[in-house]
Amino acid sequence: MIPLSWYLLLSATLFCLGIVGFLVRRNLITIFMSIELMLNGVNLSFVTFAHQWHLVKGQIFVFFVMVVAAAEAAVGLAIIIAIFRARATLAVDRIDLMKL
């Protein structure tokens, strides 16, 4: 039997990898993938606790997170394509129209 904390540490590792990708990458699509990685890391925590307590709620929450992530993926990638069409770049330091 694997201790609960191992799964939680793996979840934290994935979340932090997502943070690293979100903060250090320049490409908008890679940043988007990092967000998905963070969402997945949190899902692993939910599933771990659902397994530990034998509750349905955890998996239902995972389901809702996945649905919202799918909606976010559709709209986010559409926005990325629209930005590329308008600016011809996806480097976040060059998409600074709203920067003061």
Partner 1 sequence: MVIFAILAPLTVAGGLAAVMLRNTVHCALAVAVAFAGLALLFLQLNAQFAGFAQILVYVGAVAILVVFAILLTRSSETPATGVFSKTWLTGLVIAAAVFAVLAWAVLGSRTALPHEQIEPQIAVAQIGYALMGRYVLPLEIVAVLLTASMIGAVIVAMYEKGGAK
Residue 83: which residues within 8 A CB-CB, separation 6 or more? 28, 90, 95
CB nearer partner 1, residue 84 or residue 98? 84
Residue 43 vs 100, nearer CB to partner 1: 43
Structure tokens at 29: 């699509």
Q: Report, in Å, the least distance between residue 9 CB and partner 1.
A: 6
Q: How many CA atoms lie within 13 A of 94 on its CB side?
A: 11
Which residue carries 């690293």 as its tokens? 20
Min dist CB 39 to partner 1, Å, is 9
Residue (67 or 99) nearer to partner 1, CB: 67
Least Cβ distance, residue 99 to partner 1 (angstroms): 14
